[in-house]
Amino acid sequence: MWIFGRKGPSGFSASSTAEEVTQGIDGSGLTAIITGASSGIGTETTRVLALRGIHVIMAVRNMDSGRKVKEAISKEFPDAKLDVMELDLSSMSSVRKFASEYNSSALPLNILINNAGVMAPPFMESEDKIELQFATNHLGHFLLTNLLLDNMKKTARESHKEGRIVIVASEGHRVVYGEGIRFNKINDKSSYYSLLAYGQSKLANILHAKELARRLKEEGVEITANSLHPGAIATNLLRHHSFIEGVASWIGKYVLKNIPQGAATTCYVALHPQVKGVSGEYFVDSNIGKPSSLASDAELAKKLWEFSLSSTESK
Give the strand pairing for 55-60 and 163-168: unpaired
Query: 290: which DSSP letter?
Result: -
Give the distance, in angstroms, between the CA of residue 150 and the centroid of all CA atoms in the same chain: 19
How far apart (Å, rounded) are the C-alpha atoms in residues 265 and 287? 8
Please name the residues in contact with 67: beta carbons below 8 A apart, sequence gap of 6 or more.
Answer: 84
Q: Which residues pair with 270 in a beta bridge?
A: none
Residue 111, judged by CB atoms within 10 A of its CB (0-12, 13-18, 19+), counts as buried
Q: Which residues pair with 228 in a beta bridge?
A: 168, 283
Please name the residues in contact with 119: beta carbons below 8 A apart, sequence gap of 6 or more.
Answer: 133, 198, 237, 238, 240
How far apart (Å, rounded) are the C-alpha atoms in residues 133 and 201? 6
Query: 6: which DSSP letter?
Result: -
Q: Which residues pair with 26 in a beta bridge?
A: none
Residue 177, judged by CB atoms within 10 A of its CB (0-12, 13-18, 19+), counts as middle
Q: What are the catalytic residues?
A: 192
**DSSP letter string, 92-151:** HHHHHHHHHHHHHTT---SEEEE-----SPSS-B-TTSSBHHIIIIIIHHHHHHHHHHHH
